[in-house]
Amino acid sequence: MSKDTQKKIIYKLPAVICSALLALVIFSAALVPTFLKSEMEAAEPPAQTTELTVGTEPLKQLPTPAPVARAAYIPDIDELTAIPSFEELLTAGDFSRADIDEEGTLSLLWNQSGAADYYLLYALDENGGALQTEILWPNTGGWNFGNFIGAAVMLLGYKDMGEDGMEDDTVVYSLVKHFELSPEETPEFTEGAKSTPKPPAAPKPPAKPNKHYIIVDKSKFTFAIFEYEEETRAYTKRVNQFPCALGGSATPSGKFKIGTKGEWKKWSSTSFSPYHTRYANGLYFHGPLYKIKGDFGSLKPESYNQIGTNASHGCIRTTVAGALWVYKNCKAGTVVEIVKSSDKVSKATKLSIDPDFPAWDPTDPRKPEKPVSTPTPAPTPEDGGDGGGDSEV
């Protein structure tokens, strides 16, 4: 190799080395991100996404909605379990008010329990047996018992534990009030003198039963009125029944007593009902809704057509005929028993609204009747004697 060739190689060697080093740097710079990416993917697996395919287009699955909380189950009168004894109640408080007025009405007030899903209120006899039972909403803070003759009242607040019925429910709140009978007067005793015992008071005659008894059948949307018969000493004679609209669970099951009455009940400035009869606090028997108070020709037809369904807010909405019957015949103190179903009640149906009078309840005795047209009699020929005379020209 000549000296000139050796010089050329020596001169070009630094350039070749620099080019090689530059290529190595470029290759390393490209390799590092890929390596880091692979490391990151290995450390953090990709989020799982479920996809649905419609045709060739993948669709992301919508998230599963959160479960809706189950509403508390409030039992019917037929589902009530045995009444706990006073001894079973560890901490029974006092009512904030428990007064009996001169007419025998017991007025109760209490502080509501935030833990209770529903209340059971009992009027009890001397042996702890239930004379009357009320199933109440948790926002109820008072109640009245008309003609109260019990020895005690007991309020139990229950917590629904997730199952239908009340076997698994627990008592979280309890109030008890006992009523003592007036003691017999003791005759005075004088030393050395004979005491004359006071003769025992004559027993009071038993209270005369109310004339009527009402059973409301929630499954048939019908209430029936029964009359007391001396022969059987029971309410065995059914005298009438009427269809009604109810409020589902807002219409409480249990036994109640009729209280105050009125000809018109105002619900709003454009909504009125005739012949209202209270059977519980804020709940009534009443007729359908009308736009104008006192005007029986201003019926709201939908309120009548809803009779036979769950459409009220807890009241027993019935026809004018049904509301008027209860208003006129069932006195204060008449027992109203509301049950899920009763063999003593048959389903009642309502009349259809007269298309000629769409703003009138068809059972209303005041409803106008469509005038019946009287046919005009056919003209008769004038009397012409025996037919032998001359005809008029």
How many angstroms separate the Cα of 130 from the Cα of each of 125, 151, 373?
7, 10, 62
Q: Which one, of 213, 225, 241, lies nearest residue 348 by Cα?
A: 241
The model scores a pTM over 0.95: no
Structure tokens at 296: 């029986």
Give backbone dihedrals phi and psi of 124, rounded to 5 degrees, phi first.
-115, 150
Which range (117-131, 212-226, 336-350) has the least confidence? 117-131
Mean pLDDT value of segment 289-297: 97
Which range (18-27, 127-136, 218-227, 281-290) has the least confidence? 18-27
- Residue 48's CB is within 10 A of a number of other CB atoms, namely 5
| pLDDT tens per residue across span 30-48 | 555 554 445 454 445 554 5
pLDDT at residue number 355 = 95
Query: For the chain, what is the mean pLDDT?
Result: 79
Q: How far apart, in whole angstroms, are the C-alpha atoms of residue 67 and residue 227? A: 50
pLDDT at residue number 187 = 41
3-state secondary structure of 329: helix
3-state secondary structure of 260: coil
Mean pLDDT value of segment 230-254: 94
If you count DSSP H runs as helices and E runs as strands, how many of each does the chain have, helices first? 3, 18
Per the listing, tokens 């063999």 go with: 343
Mean pLDDT value of segment 361-383: 78
Q: Which CATH superfamily is domain 77-178 in?
A: Immunoglobulins (2.60.40.10)
CATH 2.60.40.10 domain residues, the chain: 77-178
Confidence of residue 280 (pLDDT cuts 50, 70, 90): confident
Q: How far apart, in whole angstroms, are the C-alpha atoms of residue 94 and residue 98? A: 9
pLDDT at residue number 369 = 87
CATH 2.40.440.10 domain residues, the chain: 212-339
Confidence of residue 388 (pLDDT cuts 50, 70, 90): very low
Instruction: Select the CATH number that applies to the domain covering 212-339 from these four: 2.40.440.10, 3.40.50.1110, 3.40.50.720, 2.60.40.10.
Output: 2.40.440.10
| pLDDT tens per residue across span 198-223 | 566 666 566 678 999 999 999 999 99
Q: Which residue has the higher pLDDT, 376 or 222?
A: 222
| pLDDT tens per residue across span 149-182 | 788 899 999 999 888 888 888 888 999 898 875 4
Kindly tell me the burial class for residue 91, based on how many C-beta atoms sit within 10 Å of its own C-beta (0-12, 13-18, 19 or more).
exposed
> Rg (Cα) of the chain, in Å, rounded?
43
Q: How far apart, in whole angstroms, are the C-alpha atoms of residue 152 and residue 106? A: 11
